[in-house]
Structure 1
């Protein structure tokens, strides 16, 4: 993984998660703003999938458990899709709060993926 890209992903996910939490707790229903924030997080996760495929070929192999890394990445890619899908089906304020929780969860998962990729576990 690339450290600066990880930091960008974490920052975007935290901002998107906090935005959705604030909007949801303020009573706003899903809108272009809340869905677009998670769409940006999803776009960065798709780029991360490409980076995870190309990085070992470019001489940046993972030092941690590869299966654990990919499970985190696949789960992280599916979470925003599920949250936005649910928000579009059930157009309530709590679906926006769930999107916020998903955004913050993605931030934690991306940082954990960075740790798995770069730190050797004996």
Structure 2
């Protein structure tokens, strides 16, 4: 999709999923009072900024596409990827058990899947 940005977002999201998995295993839900939780949320915010940049660049790329791209699917994946992490963070902060943190594992793992699907939609078009 976007050279450099997509693979970086993929690997940082996988790293965030591993970090959240460790938190699940040690039974430590997110708490805004702890430094490690704030650092983790900062990492998720950085991923979200990257996803926002990807969405903006993706829509620009879509407008200038020289081949047929299913615009609705492509735009849906671009916008959908922006919603995953905020919903996961909200859910995790509302659910004060280890399973709330497990939602972050799933949310972070969905990001690479969305990026792969974006690439598939772009190249298939």
Bin of the TM-score, shorter chain as denominator length? 0.7 to 0.9
Assess, with a 3 A threshold, how the Cα gap between structure 1 residues 61 and 83 changes in structure 2: closer, same or farther. farther
Assess, with a 3 A threshold, how the Cα gap between structure 1 residues 62 and 97 changes in structure 2: closer, same or farther. farther
Distance in 2 between the 1:117 and 1:108 partners?
14
Distance in 2 between the 1:26 and 1:33 partners?
17
TM-score, normalising length: structure 1 = 0.84
Are the equivalent residues in 1 in contact too, given 2:91–2:103 (CA < 8 A)?
A: no
| Match of residue 47, structure 2, among 41, 46, 64 | 41
Two-structure CA RMSD over aligned residues (Å): 1.9
Q: Which structure 2 segments of 5+ residues have no match?
A: 31-36
Q: Which structure 1 segments of 5+ residues have no match?
A: none
Are the equivalent residues in 1 in contact too, given 2:92–2:101 (CA < 8 A)?
A: yes
Aligned to 1:73: 78
Q: Which runs of 4+ in 1 moved over 6 A?
A: none
Distance in 1 between the 2:18 and 2:67 partners?
30
- Are positions 1:113 and 2:118 aligned together? yes
Aligned to 2:58: 52
TM-score, normalising length: structure 2 = 0.82
